[in-house]
Every structure is written in structure tokens, then in C-alpha cells.
């Protein structure tokens, strides 16, 4: 920045800068706009909206949360064609929200934010192209699952064929008739493995940990029901409420692992049914931890794909990748033409390399050196008017993140209202209240299935601490975020 003449720097002053235009960024924009806070800009690094639903275009990409709940309460979509929508439909839905709420002219595409600095009164938000936005408040809506994790496997760079991550699917790589290796068996892989298996000559699936998989109650929503939702919006509200209530009832199980036995029985029955004729394969794909410890997966075609004669599940540890294949610890070189990494995301890296400087020049990365933590997953002491969407400990294993995002927008609006009513500039959370909140969260997580279920997941950091999950009911989170508690914050 030092070498850029001041007159050429693109500078914009706004009240609120929103970073990211996925579900979180768009929810914030709609709610702020609706509350009369129209002086806002959305900074989006890509060329279109949608966040994770824009980036993940792998074959079979779909949501594992029911469409009526995985959408904004303020923008119901009577047109959902399936109980669990697929990626193109969700992406189109987000585009439609932008049009419906006339947000497009507020979005600046190609703006990858690299730094945010608080100067005592405003944030200076700098993008990679050198442009600057000065804002009283920043809403950070990039989500925790947007930086693909490339595994540290020796030789991966030397592979001569196409090798790509599921979140950056290479649609130019024709996998038809090819020998394909897939690394990983998480929520993404179980969706694209059956699709790749349909066209590949062979598929070798490298499984480090077998996931629990339940049948997915996914079906088309009949046209008559869609018409009903158009004609009687209350019917769709009811459908949403029913799904939400059913999901909410699962929380008690996650907090007390012994209660997960019921769900585990369903998953075991699914394994028994599917692999009755393949005990060898069943043994390989049967998990060795309590269900729920990692995200519970849902699929109707994953297990069937694994049984296909040209699909091989390899559980030997990968030791290296060569120019022509993947070598495992037993010395076998699995020769393949393409490698697909379903290896998840870099979670727990805080702001993913963005330099965030708060009061007194303190860096958020330093505050988070021991792991990300916040107050209600939304604010961080020392970083006034910075609102994190889907911040630490707001993740769910049982319900819709869109519900959590909407809860956070209420907190955001109330915080700004409080600041304005008191003629202040910003709201800064008190460190002692933030610490008390985190102590409470960690206490509630003790003994939960995520901590004691016998697995290692991306929910836990390297110290085994869970900085990811909200350990309770979503309704509890909604109640706590509806209004701010003034005593937990100070006005700047
Ligand atoms: P993930 O759940 O983190 O799975 C990554 C997979 O890669 C795991 O099986 C992991 O094995 C394996 N892996 C990682 N590094 C490896 C290595 N070096 N060698 C061998 N295997 C390795 O990632 P994901 O499937 O992309 O899903 C991430 C999250 O995205 C999900 O938990 C979910 O929250 C979200 N998601 C949601 C949906 C949806 O429908 N809503 C769909 C896709 C993703 P280990 O299990 O042994 O670590």
C-alpha cells in the first residue's frame, strides 16, 4: 500500500462493511437494510454470490439439512424441489435473494479483504486490489469452511494427472473411463464418490476413518405441495417448524453420548442391511467411535457405490504420492489417472491470514494464538463493532446454520441500535464476560459426544478443545442473541 499514490486509491466510506456474500453476508445485508441501515457495502472476493454454495460444485453436491429450514425465514422458497436441495438450487436461491432485496448494487465483487484495522473510530478494510473501505462496523461473513485443506502428503505436487480439491472441482478434468483416487470420506466425499463411480473405470477410495452414515430421507417435493406453499405461506412455516423441532430434539443425545445409542442402532441396521453379502467390506466401513462425534452423514447411494466391483476401499495409511499413483504403507502403489481430495477445510486458523488489528494495535491472530474464541461466537473483546458470523462455537451437528446466522443478525442490529441510542461510536465486549461465556461453553462441552465419543474431528483443536460447536439448543442461542446484554459490553 505504501507505494500507491493516495489519489489512485479507491476509498469508500460506509456505515457497515460486510465481508462475504454467502448465507451469512446476505442475511446481514438484508436485515441491516430492512432496519433502515442502508449505508452498507458487501465485499466479495469472487465474481458471484453464494459462498460455499458457489465454491462447491462437485458432482452430487447437496445439503444435508432440510431445504425448508436451510433457507432464510424472511425469504421462504415455496419452490424447493426436494426435501434436501442440491447445490445449483441453493445457489440460485441465494441469487434470487439478492434480486428480491435489491442488494446487487451494494456488492463489490473481486474484493478479497486482506486487512482490517480499527483506528479508534472506524475500521479500515483493505482489499487485495488496494481498495479501501472505511466503516464504523464490520460484519465478517466468510464462514469457517471456505479455505480448502490440502493434505500434507509427500509427493502430491509430483502427480502428473489432474489432482484437485472437492471445493475447487476441476470440471475440465474428464474422469470418464479414468482410474480415480479419492482421498477422504467426509460429508463432501460421500456425495461425490457415487457420482464419480458412475463414470470412472475404477475408483480407489482412501479411507482414514470410517464415517457413520444414515439413510437420507431425501425425496422430491410434489408439485401439489409446492402449490400449497405458494398459496398458504403458513403451511410452509409449519413445515419448517416441524423440521426444526425434530432436529432440536437430537441435542440431548449429543450432550449425553449414551443417548446416541438409538441413532447408532439405525446406522448399524443400515450397515447390516447393505453389507449382508459383503462382511469384509462391512468391517472396513464400520466406524469405531460413537455416532455424532464426527458429523453424521446421510446418503442413499454411498454404500451402494462402495460395493460396486470397480470400487476399492483402501484403509492402509497413505505414505506418498508418486507421478502415477498413491502409495500406501503396505508398499502397494495404487496407479491412478486422477486424484480428488475430499480432505475438508482449514478450520481453526482464525481469520485465514487476514490481518485484523483492534484497539491498541492488538492483532486478532495474537489474541487467538491459543485458538479462536469469542462472545456468543460473535464479538471479540478489544475489537469494537466487529461482528463475526458463524464465529467460534456456533457450529451445529444437528440443525441449520442459517438459523444461527439469523440469530446473529438480531444481535448485530441490537448492538448497533444500542450504540446509536447512547450516542457512542462502537460496542466492545468486556473481556471478563467473554471469558465467563467461554468457560461456560467449555463446561457444557465436557462429556459431550464431540469430546468423549472417541474420535478426532475438525471440531477439536490441537489441544482437544472444541472451538467449533454450539453445545445446546438453537433456541437457546436465539434467546441469548435476541437482545444484547448491555452489562457485558462497554461503549466506545
Ligand atoms: P471433512 O468432513 O473434514 O472430511 C475430510 C476427510 O478427509 C476425512 O475423511 C478425513 O479423514 C480425510 N483426510 C483429511 N486429511 C487426510 C489425509 N492426510 N489422509 C487421508 N485422509 C485425510 O471435510 P468435508 O467432507 O469437506 O466436510 C467438511 C464439512 O463441510 C462438513 O463437516 C460439513 O460441516 C460441511 N459440509 C456440509 C455438507 C452439507 O450437506 N451441508 C456437505 C459437505 C460438507 P479423518 O476423518 O480421519 O480426519
Strand 113-118, strand 107-109: pairing: unpaired
* Digit-coded pLDDT (tens) for 476-485: 999 999 999 9
Look at ligand 1, atom 45, and give the residue with the nearest C-alpha: 209
What is the widest separation between alpha-carbon atoms in the chain?
Answer: 73
* Digit-coded pLDDT (tens) for 27-40: 999 999 999 999 99
Question: Confidence band (pLDDT; 50, 70, 90) for 9?
Answer: low
Q: Residue 145 Cα, ligand 1 centroid: separation in angstroms?
A: 10
User: Residue 350: its pLDDT value, please?
Assistant: 79
Q: Tell me if 209 CB under 6 Å of ligand 1.
A: yes
User: Residue 6: its pLDDT value, please?
Assistant: 46
Q: Tell me if 187 CB under 6 Å of ligand 1.
A: yes
8 A C-beta contact, residue 218 and residue 86: no
Going by C-beta distance under 8 Å and a sequence separation of 6 or more, which residues neighbour residue 404?
A: 390, 394, 396, 470, 474, 477
The rounded mean pLDDT for the chain is 96
Q: Tell me if 186 CB under 6 Å of ligand 1.
A: yes
What average pLDDT does range 129-135 have in this prediction? 97
H/E stretch holding 482: helix 474-482
Residue 285 confidence (pLDDT) above 50: yes
Give dist(CA 23, CA 246) in Å, integer.
23
For ligand 1, mutation pick of 210, 292, 302, 343 (most atoms within 8 Å of CB): 343
Q: Tell me if 188 CB under 6 Å of ligand 1.
A: yes
Look at ligand 1, atom 2, and give the residue with the nearest C-alpha: 186
Question: Confidence band (pLDDT; 50, 70, 90) for 389?
Answer: very high
Cβ atoms within 10 Å of 130's Cβ, excluding its own:
13
* Eight-state DSSP code of residue 337: S
Q: Tell me if 144 CB under 6 Å of ligand 1.
A: no
CA–CA distance from 92 to each of 32, 77, 95, 221, 268 (Å)?
Answer: 22, 11, 5, 17, 36
Q: Tell me if 344 CB under 6 Å of ligand 1.
A: yes
Q: Which fold has domain 11-147+346-491?
A: FAD/NAD(P)-binding domain (3.50.50)
Q: Tell me if 194 CB under 6 Å of ligand 1.
A: no
Q: For residue 188, with 0-12 CB atoms within 10 Å meaning exposed, 13-18 middle and 19 or more buried, which class applies?
A: buried
Q: Tell me if 58 CB under 6 Å of ligand 1.
A: no
* Digit-coded pLDDT (tens) for 354-368: 999 999 999 999 999
Residue 215 confidence (pLDDT) above 70: yes
Tell me where in the chain the CATH 3.50.50.60 domain(s) lie: 11-147+346-491, 156-217+254-341
Strand 132-140, strand 123-127: pairing: antiparallel
H/E stretch holding 79: none
Weakest mean pLDDT among 125-129, 344-348, 381-385: 344-348
Give dist(CA 62, CA 241) in Å, integer.
21
* Digit-coded pLDDT (tens) for 407-463: 999 999 999 999 999 999 999 999 999 999 999 999 999 999 999 999 999 999 888
User: Residue 144: its pLDDT value, please?
Assistant: 86
Q: For residue 319, with 0-12 CB atoms within 10 Å meaning exposed, 13-18 middle and 19 or more buried, which class applies?
A: middle
Q: Tell me if 385 CB under 6 Å of ligand 1.
A: no
User: Residue 2: its pLDDT value, please?
Assistant: 41
For ligand 1, mutation pick of 151, 187, 292 (most atoms within 8 Å of CB): 187
Q: Tell me if 316 CB under 6 Å of ligand 1.
A: no
- CATH class of the domain defined by 156-217+254-341: alpha beta
Q: For residue 47, with 0-12 CB atoms within 10 Å meaning exposed, 13-18 middle and 19 or more buried, which class applies?
A: exposed
User: Residue 347: its pLDDT value, please?
Assistant: 85
Q: Tell me if 15 CB under 6 Å of ligand 1.
A: no
307 sits in the region (left: phi over 0; alpha: psi -120 to 50; else beta) called alpha
What average pLDDT does range 72-93 have in this prediction? 98
Using the atom order of ligand 1, give the atom closest to the CA of residue 63: 40
8 A C-beta contact, residue 101 and residue 30: yes
- Per DSSP, the three-state class of 113 is strand
Cβ atoms within 10 Å of 314's Cβ, excluding its own:
18
The alpha helices in 64-177, defined as continuous H runs, are 87-100
Query: How large is the angle between the packed helices 233-248 and 474-482, nearest 10 degrees?
Result: 110
Sheet holding 163-165, edge to edge: 163-165, 338-341, 179-183, 202-206, 311-314
Q: Tell me if 409 CB under 6 Å of ligand 1.
A: no
Amino acid at each position: 500500500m505504501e507505494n500507491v499514490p493516495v489519489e489512485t486509491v479507491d476509498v469508500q466510506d460506509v456505515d457497515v462493511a460486510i465481508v462475504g456474500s454467502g448465507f451469512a453476508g446476505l442475511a446481514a445485508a438484508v436485515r441491516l437494510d430492512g432496519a433502515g441501515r442502508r449505508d452498507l457495502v458487501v465485499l466479495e472476493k469472487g465474481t458471484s454470490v453464494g459462498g460455499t454454495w458457489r465454491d462447491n460444485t462437485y458432482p452430487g453436491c447437496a445439503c444435508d439439512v432440510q431445504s425448508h429450514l436451510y433457507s432464510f425465514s424472511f425469504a421462504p422458497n415455496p419452490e424447493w424441489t426436494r426435501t434436501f436441495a442440491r447445490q445449483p438450487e441453493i445457489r440460485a436461491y441465494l441469487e434470487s435473494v439478492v434480486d428480491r432485496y435489491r442488494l446487487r448494487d451494494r456488492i463489490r465483487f473481486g474484493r478479497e479483504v486482506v486487512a482490517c484495522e480499527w483506528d479508534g473510530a472506524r475500521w479500515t478494510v483493505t482489499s487485495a486490489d488496494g481498495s479501501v473501505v472505511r466503516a464504523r462496523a464490520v460484519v465478517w461473513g466468510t464462514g469457517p469452511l471456505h479455505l480448502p485443506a490440502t493434505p500434507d502428503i509427500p509427493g502430491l505436487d509430483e502427480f502428473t494427472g489432474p489432482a484437485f480439491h472437492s471445493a475447487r472441482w476441476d470440471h475440465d478434468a474428464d474422469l470418464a473411463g479414468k482410474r480415480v483416487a479419492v482421498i477422504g470420506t467426509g460429508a463432501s466425499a460421500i456425495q461425490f464418490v457415487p457420482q464419480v463411480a458412475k463414470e470412472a473405470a475404477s475408483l480407489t477410495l482412501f479411507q482414514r476413518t470410517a464415517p457413520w452414515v444414515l439413510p437420507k430421507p431425501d425425496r422430491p417435493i410434489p408439485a401439489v405441495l409446492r402449490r400449497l406453499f405458494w398459496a398458504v405461506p403458513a403451511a410452509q412455516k409449519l413445515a419448517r417448524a416441524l423440521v426444526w423441532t425434530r432436529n432440536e430434539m437430537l441435542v440431548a443425545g449429543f450432550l449425553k453420548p449414551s443417548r446416541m445409542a438409538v441413532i447408532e442402532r439405525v446406522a448399524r441396521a443400515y450397515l447390516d442391511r447393505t453389507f449382508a453379502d459383503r462382511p469384509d467390506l462391512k468391517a472396513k466401513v464400520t466406524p469405531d467411535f460413537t455416532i455424532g462425534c464426527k458429523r453424521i452423514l446421510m446418503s442413499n447411494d454411498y454404500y451402494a457405490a462402495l460395493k460396486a466391483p470397480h470400487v476399492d476401499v483402501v484403509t492402509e495409511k497413505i505414505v506418498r504420492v508418486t507421478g502415477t499413483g498413491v502409495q500406501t504403507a503396505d508398499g502397494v502403489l495404487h496407479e491412478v489417472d486422477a486424484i480428488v481430495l475430499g480432505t475438508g477445510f482449514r478450520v481453526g486458523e482464525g481469520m485465514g491470514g487476514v490481518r485484523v488489528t483492534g484497539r491498541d494495535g492488538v492483532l486478532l491472530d495474537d489474541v487467538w494464538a491459543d485458538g479462536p474464541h469469542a462472545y456468543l461466537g460473535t464479538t471479540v473483546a478489544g475489537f469494537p463493532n466487529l461482528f463475526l458470523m458463524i464465529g467460534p462455537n456456533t457450529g451445529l451437528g444437528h440443525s441449520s446454520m442459517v438459523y444461527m446466522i439469523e440469530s446473529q443478525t438480531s444481535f448485530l442490529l441490537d448492538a448497533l441500535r444500542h450504540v446509536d441510542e447512547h450516542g457512542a461510536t462502537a460496542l466492545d465486549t468486556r473481556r471478563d464476560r467473554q471469558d465467563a461465556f467461554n468457560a461456560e461453553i467449555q463446561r457444557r462441552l465436557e462429556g459431550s459426544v464431540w469430546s468423549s465419543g472417541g474420535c478426532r474431528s475438525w471440531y477439536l483443536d490441537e489441544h482437544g478443545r472444541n472451538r467449533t460447536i454450539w453445545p445446546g439448543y438453537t433456541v437457546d442461542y436465539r434467546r441469548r442473541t435476541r437482545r444484547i446484554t448491555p452489562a457485558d459490553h462497554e461503549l466506545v
